[in-house]
Structure 1
């Protein structure tokens, strides 16, 4: 199938949705570049699915506009919008076979060569020979492919994916992530993917918008969001972070000096979201190392001493919980290299990191869990599979 050129960005301008006294989406301004794979990431209740349903025409906005290219589609009926939606539940017609499920939209539009288009799409999603199967005869992954084929055969300018892999087990979810990347490369168009799964968003998307309380907390590439979060919420929702409560006391060259727990730390000013007053010094668990004594800490590293309090074996590595003498508990992720022995519970250790791996957030931002570490599991540090 020939990849089609993208035709106009999707823009949300002051988009809002209220349900009685509850504001689900709050004056949202967002641009989804044409031809991108875009993820809306956030916890349950943050407004991401409501946003997608407004774009699809399934929920009417309370205010604002939805623009696609040069056209305003805010008030268009769903079937008149050049978008299609794939739901977590697949929403296949149980009384129709695979062929007729995929052909449904084409027949409604009285498109010619229905058979040819359906067969080409089934070949694209690797379901040749399944034309006469009913949905109940298919596995979850196969049903998801039928749902994708039914949406893509209509050649939408925007494909909306609402938690499309949420009903699949972990192994199948990862295989389907690869299928989505392949389909995106082959058919083109704009994909907007709603998910609460951080790994899924980071693996699939070119751009991620992290949503919280009906608004976007931060927008950027997966690497930008992970390496330099803008808020405490992003730092703890997208992966895991150690957050140390402190105060910016001075500037030394290109660094900011931070007093925290009776110690002085530094953070490059280029990695700071605040340059004075209350601050949260953040460092990701995989950027922290453990040593036996302060003398073993490399020159230039900063550190806190403590004791191994808990151990979690994750296969790809080991996660240590380290209560420190400063009264804050650090999380440390040590990748499995086949060489280092696991450190027993109760062992005195020194947790250390290089300042270039730290970041500094506004200390008045209480959108995250209590300073220290988030309660979310650390993602496996990996690139795209």
Structure 2
């Protein structure tokens, strides 16, 4: 059980680009923390800095109170799994998993390897060659290799993104179970919002090298901290607005500019001719019992969800918006 404490962390690349700025983050022992954000947001930069592959310009990283900011990666006791599983084809499964133990000069390696393989569901695979395994099995080998040396922290860099569904979903579930069983503190980078929301204890949303919000999945979806987070996480439509009349108790005053975030569940879809905003169906996708729609209205594209009869592309409908979120512009 290991806690990670990051304080005032900044990374600047050789060309002067800021990779991270003023990152403060506490990862709890045994927590499964997910880093997510658009391309270039800093999520992989943060993971690689925790791993020791990047040197920060300022700030500190500590694990269980021990400052590791300038400790080499191989001495940080962290296991890491990348998107491409990088299993060595000329070695057996056992030799692949054993490799970090052999480099560290650990004795009695066979028992440790067998335990790691059993933990990832590959008991009995020790003598197999990687080319005889499926993609999911090779990724399990990579996981076993990452945990065999009893790391304090497990780092996952898009570790499941190269796998196809439903294999990816199965391994995602098993990964969460594995980290719980092993008592691992895990930091996982993904670009997949569904994956982040399904596996995380908490999610860190990054943008332009800064933390935009840290929240549980439920909090993140129901209360995005900014309009940008609402758009990224919940497919919110963003609209510029001006307050015409604010009640005396309102924090926001009359005449103030706002950004409104309208999440899909806030959009009610009714038949054409009803009171509301005229709209037209742009696209229709099946989504687990509902129909996920995009609607053209007010020169803007809105997302919505309906149940029952499938609307058709081009249908005229009416939309009503309930409870949009307002953010200071």
Report the TM-score when normalising by structure 2.
0.91
- In structure 2, the partner of 1:266 is none
Name the SS for the 1:173 alignment partner: helix
Aligned pair partner of 1:125 in 120, 136, 160: 120
Are residues 1:321 and 2:294 paired?
yes
Partners of 1:142 and 1:278 lie apart in 2 by 53
Task: Describe the superposition over 1:322-373 as per-residue Cα deviations: whole angstroms up to 9, x where unpaired.
Answer: 333x4433221224xxxx2223344432212432xx31122x2xxxxxxxxx
List gaps (5 residues or longer) in structure 2: none
Structure 1's 249 and 121: CA in aligned 2 closer, same or farther, altered over 3 A?
same
Structure 1's 68 and 15: CA in aligned 2 closer, same or farther, altered over 3 A?
farther
Structure 1's 242 and 165: CA in aligned 2 closer, same or farther, altered over 3 A?
same
Per the TM alignment, residue 229 of structure 1 is displaced from its structure 2 partner at its CA by 1.0
Per the TM alignment, residue 197 of structure 1 is displaced from its structure 2 partner at its CA by 1.0
Task: Describe the superposition over 1:49-81 as per-residue Cα deviations: whole angstroms up to 9, x where unpaired.
Answer: 121111111122222211112111011111111
Are residues 1:84 and 2:79 paired?
yes
Aligned pair partner of 1:351 in 316, 319, 322: 319
Task: Describe the superposition over 1:17-73 as per-residue Cα deviations: whole angstroms up to 9, x where unpaired.
Answer: 323121112232222122210011012222211211111111222222111121110
Partners of 1:59 and 1:29 lie apart in 2 by 17
Task: Describe the superposition over 1:81-120 as per-residue Cα deviations: whole angstroms up to 9, x where unpaired.
Answer: 1212111111222221111111111222233331112111
Structure 1's 49 and 347: CA in aligned 2 closer, same or farther, altered over 3 A?
closer
Mapped contact 1:102–1:153 kept (Cα < 8 A): yes
Name the Cα RMSD after superposition. Answer: 2.2
Partners of 2:312 and 2:45 lie apart in 1 by 47
- In structure 1, the partner of 2:190 is 195
Task: Describe the superposition over 1:165-214 as per-residue Cα deviations: whole angstroms up to 9, x where unpaired.
Answer: 11111322111110111101210121000111111111111111111111
Per the TM alignment, residue 9 of structure 1 is displaced from its structure 2 partner at its CA by 3.1
Name the SS for the 1:20 alignment partner: coil
Mapped contact 2:280–2:317 kept (Cα < 8 A): yes
Moved over 4 A (4+): none
Structure 1's 10 and 91: CA in aligned 2 closer, same or farther, altered over 3 A?
farther
- In structure 2, the partner of 1:341 is 309
Structure 1's 275 and 19: CA in aligned 2 closer, same or farther, altered over 3 A?
farther
- In structure 1, the partner of 2:130 is 135
Task: Describe the superposition over 1:94-147 as per-residue Cα deviations: whole angstroms up to 9, x where unpaired.
Answer: 221111111111222233331112111111111112111122221110011111
Mapped contact 1:39–1:192 kept (Cα < 8 A): yes
Report the TM-score when normalising by structure 1.
0.79
1:1-385 aligned at under 5 Å gives the runs 6-252=1-247, 277-292=256-271, 304-316=276-288, 317-324=290-297, 326-335=298-307, 340-355=308-323, 358-362=324-328, 364=329
Mapped contact 1:13–1:66 kept (Cα < 8 A): no
Name the SS for the 1:149 alignment partner: helix
Mapped contact 1:57–1:76 kept (Cα < 8 A): yes
Name the SS for the 1:250 alignment partner: coil
List gaps (5 residues or longer) in structure 1: 1-5, 257-268, 298-303, 365-385
Per the TM alignment, residue 252 of structure 1 is displaced from its structure 2 partner at its CA by 4.0
Mapped contact 1:242–1:282 kept (Cα < 8 A): yes
- In structure 2, the partner of 1:381 is none
